[in-house]
Amino acid sequence: MKVAVIVFPGSNCDRDMFHAAGEIAGAEASLVWYTETHLLDSVDGILIPGGFSYGDYLRSGSMASTSNMMHKIQEHAEKGKPVLGVCNGFQILTEAGLLPGALMRNKNLSFMCHQEELIVEDNETIFTKLYEKKQIVRFPIAHGEGNYFCDEATLKELKDNNQIVFTYKNNPNGSVADIAGIRNKAGNVLGMMPHPERAVEALLRSEDGLSLFQSMIANWRSSNAVNA
């Protein structure tokens, strides 16, 4: 499986994502600068890492969301290819309209950086098939604007369509309905604030994130076996 890790000006988790997906999980990963849209033509999945794209000017993720790269990513998403956005990547996906809702300042108005326990609400996605439903996993968070918000109608839609993939066991930032990660209706776009790429080795105090990347690879392999 070939995956592209998108690098915007201000991205700072790109190397972590590259290491997790490529060197640990076993995908064929490459770092792709945000202007090199042609390099996405041959990839099977797209990973948008955390950081502070464009310095988080205006709103977190807002400037990156209007780039030509995001238009290309939207084309890939419409073809059903997996797209994962973590932290700032989640913010970019909501700003671009690939996922509903918005990310606001944490309820305590402070940057937060520590381990959090999450609940796997849906283990039937291409990102979570190797987890158990309601499994408790430990991923670190590192964000100042991770407070997920949506209106009541959108929340009902998320629940009705089973689009809530991860929730916080002990909500640290005020996110509505304890939401830590959601997917699109088609199931191939996942956005989440916690960092699975920082939880793939025992040295990092958790290996729970590895199954997310392995799930993507396993799904790609099974899909290609069927189409072969």
Q: Which residues are designated catalytic?
A: 87, 195, 197
Give dist(CA 85, CA 135) in Å, integer. 21
CA 188 to CA 76: how far, in whole Å?
10
d(Cα 117, Cα 137) in Å, to the nearest integer? 6
- Please report which residue ranges of the chain form alpha helices under DSSP H: 14-18, 68-78, 88-95, 152-160, 210-227
Neighbours of 71 (CB within 10 A): 12
Cα-Cα-Cα-Cα dihedral of 25, 185, 6, 171, to 10°? Answer: -70
Closest to 97 measured CA to CA, from 123, 65, 120? 65
CB-based burial label for 223 (10 Å; 0-12, 13-18, 19+): middle
